[in-house]
Amino acid sequence: MEISTLATYHFLAFAWYLFVAYSIAHVKTEERPSEVFLYGGQWKYLTVLNLILQAVFYGVSFLADVLRLIKKLRCAKCVISSRDLLFSVLAFPVSTFVCISFWTLYTYNRELVYPKSLDGVIPLWLNHAMHTAVLPFALLEILALPHRYPAKKKGLILLGFVAFLYISWVLWIYSVTGEWVYPLFALFSPPGLAAFFAGSLAIIISFYNFGEFLNRMIWGQSKFSS
């Protein structure tokens, strides 16, 4: 794909994620269902954190494209390294996890992750923007250009560290409020919850490996952005 075309695509994706994040941030709190508590704001939800992550990633990608267009190759190389690390370790596996885990649990019992009362607060298009569109965007990014993956150990350590931070945030919120971010968590005993978190980490690691596999299958071992 031509650099100018990539720049346009990355800018539009960046603008889209900013718009979605803005839209969810401005949902009226006075209309919130009783199941939704205020502590932690929108920042307690992995879905919302993923929107910010995707906006940052596409913003960095657009910056890399612009630097390549204006021939600032030394600066571009550094930004591209950051772009590839963001995509491989976080943007692809997290967006894939958000989409697949949400719709799996929603199909099983939506009250565990997205109570029906939210339908009156969050429009249908916004629900799909947060939970559905993130996966096609991630797949399109893999098709658009190759990404350099870090050494497997480094990538998994970084992914595991971010997962640990989010789990710690969820547990902190529970310790303060006595409420779980997602109703699903209330169903588990402490050992069961630990097993659920471990299983979720294993799933997101599998998505990391899947992204690396797709990148290698489409672009080969040696073709990377420069």
Give the number of other CB atoms < 10 A from CB of residue 109: 11
* pLDDT the model gives residue 41: 79
Whole-structure pTM value: 0.91
Determine how many CB atoms are found less than 10 A away from the CB of residue 14: 20
Counted residue by residue, the chain has a size of 226
Cβ neighbours of residue 226 closer than 8 Å, sequence gap 6 or more: 77, 80
pLDDT tens digit string along 12-66? 999 999 999 999 888 765 555 555 656 777 889 999 999 999 999 999 999 999 9
One-letter-per-residue 3-state SS of 8-77: HHHHHHHHHHHHHHHHHHCCCHHHCCCCCCCCCHHHHCHHHHHHHHHHHHHHHHHHHHHHHHCCCHHHHH
Q: What is the pLDDT of residue 27?
A: 78
**Residue 85 pLDDT:** 96
The pLDDT value given to residue 226: 37
Mark the ranges of the chain whose per-residue pLDDT is less than 70: 28-38, 221-226
**C-alpha to C-alpha distance for 171 and 72, rounded to whole angstroms:** 44
- Rounded Cα distance between 98 and 120, Å, is 22
